[in-house]
Amino acid sequence: MKKMAAANVRHLCSTNPVCFLLPHYHRTKMKRISEDYQSRLPDNTALKQQQLPAYRLQLSATGVLSGFFAAGAFCLGMGIILILSAKSIKEIEVKYTKICANCAELREDATNFDKECTCSIPFYLSETMKGNVYMYYKLYGFYQNLYQYILSRSNSQLLGTDLKDVGNCAPFSNSHDGTPIAPCGAIANSIFNDTIILSYNLNSSIPIEVPMLKSKITWWTDKYVKFQNPSSINLSSAFAGTTKPPYWSKPVYELDEEDPGNNGFLNDDFIVWMRTAAFPTFKKLYRRLNRIQYFIEGLPAGNYSFNITYNFPVTRFKGEKSVVLSTLTWSGGSSLFLGLAYTVTGAVTWLAAFSMMAIHLMLKKKKMLFIQD
């Protein structure tokens, strides 16, 4: 029949005086098909035929349950370790906003910026803080994570390459007369500028200043990569043509009068401040205990006091300031939260594992009964 259908065409041909046997179109089409015959057959590869060798993932009862028991055990163990180590940390926090209420009041009025205000807070350390002791300042309710705030800095200026680059620093990019501010931006402008000195009353008479280090309180990369002073003979000339941020009392090259190397953009306190905190309550490293003399073992128990030069206003935004002394463990200054979270997760995992096992076994039993019936 197929042949007959094809023959129809030829029938007409024989009756028509002007007739081409097969039109060109047909012939070319045929030729193309025969030439392409090989290439038109799809390749027999595993990929193209969707036959790639593969592992079929399936949640088997034994796998899931043993995984859960293992994970639960790990979490519980880790939780207990973390809780224990968090407990081993010695920490003292002294909130001084209210204690230094008069200073706080003074600072609420910006015009009093040149009036110095100090405040001394005595406290008793009942237990020796062994090992390295770190001193932090902690701010409550200070939003270092506001979008406009985080943005308001110039990394290229801080790199010392282009002091005039104050692009993103608005509204603290230029002073009234148009000179660029160095360091520019809201972050730099709002630097924490209290000075905190810890003194130890050895014999309850003469307080000794506890030796503190201000080095190595920054990230290595911040100190050596991210922040650079502009190159020049001395810093003051390097910063010529710029002006200090409006809230600052001293220009950036005079931040540390004792250590000339700790000035300019490379000032450690400045670098620490510039690393903005994630949450409105944060603590930042201020000093490290220099373990010499009485303090080789750490901070011995006894009477201490913080002598604070109160400059940083917090009451305006209903914030609070505190100073923290803390030791560390293997995982750093971890809080109790992580340990508790691990313990809870571990417990829940085990609970889930037991209930899954119970359900699974029950179903299996039922199935067996069903089959027996």
Partner 1 sequence: MFCSKKKSLEVERTVKANDREYNEKFQYADNRIHTSKYNVLTFLPINLFEQFQRVANAYFLFLLILQLIPEISSLTWFTTIVPLVLVITMTAVKDATDDYFRHKSDNQVNNRLSEVLINSKLQNEKWMNVKVGDIVKLENNQFVAADLLLLSSSEPHSLCYIETAELDGETNLKVRHALSVTSELGADINRLAKFDGPDTKLIQNSGKTKLKRTSIDRLLNTLVLWIFGFLVCLGIILAIGNSIWENQVGDQFRTFLFWKEGRKNPVFSGFLTFWSYIIILNTVVPISLYVSMEVIRLGHSYFINWDRRMYYSGKSTPAEARTTTLNEELGQIEYIFSDKTGTLTQNIMTFKKCSINGKIYGEVHDDMGQKTHMTKKNEPVDFSVNPQADRTFQFFDHRLMESIKLGDSKVYEFLRLLALCHTVMSEENSAGQLIYQVQSPDEGALVTAARNFGFIFKSRTPETITVEELGTLVTYQLLAFLDFNNIRKRMSVIVRNPEGQIKLYCKGADTILFEKLHPSNEDLLNLTTDHLSEFAGEGLRTLAIAYRDLDDKYFKEWHKMLEDANALMDERDERIAGLYEEIERDLMLLGATAVEDKLQEGVIETITNLSLAHIKIWVLTGDKQETAINIGYACNMLTDDMKDVFIISGNTAVEVREELRKAKENLFGQNRSSSNGHVVFEKQQLELDSVVEETITGDYALIINGHSLAHALESDVKNDLIELACMCKTVVCCRVTPLQKAQVVELVKNYRHAVTLAIGDGANDVSMIKSAHIGVGISGQEGLQAVLASDYSFAQFRYLQRLLLVHGRWSYFRMCKFLRYFFYKNFAFTLVHFWFGFFCGFSAQTVYDQWFIALFNIVYTSLPVLAMGIFDQDVSDQSSMDYPQLYEPGQLNLLFNKHKFFICMAHGIYTSLVLFFIPYGAFYNVAGEDGQLIADYQSFAVTMATSLVIVVSVQIALDTSYWTVINHVFIWGSIATYFSVLFTMHSNGIFGIFPSQFPFVGNARHSLTQKCIWLVILLTTVASVMPVVVFRFLKVDLFPTLSDQIRQRQKSQKKARPLRSQRPQTRRSSSRRSGYAFAHQEGYGELITSGRNMRAKNPPPASGLEKTPYNSTSWIENLCKKTTDTVSSFSQDKTVKL
Chain positions 243 to 262 lying near partner 1, rule: CB under 8 A, are: 246-247
**CA dist., res. 69 & res. 352, Å (int):** 9
Residue from 90, 214, 244, 284 in contact with partner 1 (CB under 8 A): 284
Per CB under 8 A, 126 contacts partner 1: no
In the complex with partner 1, the residue whose CB is nearer, 111 or 203, is 111
Determine contact, residues 123/92, Cβ cutoff 8 Å: yes
Shortest distance (Å) from residue 171 CB to partner 1: 4
Q: Does 205 bind partner 1 (CB under 8 A)?
A: no
- Find the angle CA(338)-CA(342)-CA(344) to the nearest 5 degrees: 115
Nearer to partner 1, 157 or 263 (CB): 157
Token pair for 2? 């197929």
Q: Which residues are bridge partners to 280 per DSSP? A: none
- Could you count the other beta carbons within 10 Å of the beta carbon of residue 194? 21
DSSP 94: E
In the complex, least distance from residue 314 CB atom to partner 1, rounded to whole angstroms = 9
Residue type, 351: L
Whichever of 150 and 208 has its CB closer to partner 1, that residue is 150
Query: For residue 236, how many C-alpha atoms fall within 13 Å in the half-sphere facing its CB?
Result: 4
Taking the C-alpha atoms of residue 149 and residue 245, their distance in angstroms, rounded to an integer, is: 15
Q: Which of 88, 316, 358, 365 contacts partner 1 by CB under 8 A?
A: 316
The conformation of residue 140, written as its DSSP 8-state character, comes to E
Q: Based on the shown chain and the rule CB under 8 A, indicate whether residue 77 belongs to the binding site for partner 1.
A: no
> Rounded to the nearest whole angstrom, what is the least distance from the CB of residue 1 to partner 1 in the complex?
5
Q: Minimal distance in Å, beta carbon 203 to partner 1?
A: 30
Tell me how far, at minimum, the Cβ of 325 lies from partner 1, in Å. 11
Tell me, by CB under 8 A, how many residues bind partner 1: 122
Q: Would you count residue 295 as binding partner 1 (CB under 8 A)? A: no
Residues in 2-61 that interact with partner 1 by CB under 8 A? 2-5, 7-20, 22-23, 25, 33, 36-37, 40-44, 48-50, 52-61
**In contact, 133 and 321? CB cutoff 8 Å:** no
Minimum Å gap between C-beta 236 and partner 1 is 24
Please, which residue, 207 or 325, has the CB nearer to partner 1?
A: 325
Q: Is 178 an interacting residue with respect to partner 1 (CB under 8 A)? A: no
What are the residue ranges of helices labelled H in 113-261?
A: 147-151, 155-158, 186-189, 220-221, 235-238
User: Any idea what DSSP says for residue 9?
Assistant: H
292 binds partner 1 per the rule CB under 8 A: no
Q: How far is the CB of 25 from partner 1 (least distance, A)?
A: 8
DSSP SS3 for 139: strand
Q: How far is the CB of 187 from partner 1 (least distance, A)?
A: 9
3-state secondary structure of 151: helix
- Please say whether the beta carbons of 137 and 192 come within 8 A: yes
CB of 256 to partner 1, least distance (A): 19
Q: For residue 171, what are the CA distances in angstroms to 166, 189, 242, 253, 268?
A: 10, 10, 16, 22, 25
Between 108 and 260, CB nearer to partner 1 = 108
Residue among 27, 331, 358, 368 that touches partner 1 (CB under 8 A): 331
State the Cα–Cα distance between residues 295 and 200, nearest whole angstrom: 10
Site string for partner 1, 85-124 (x = CB under 8 A): ----------------------------------------
The nearer residue to partner 1, 5 or 371, going by C-beta atoms, is: 5
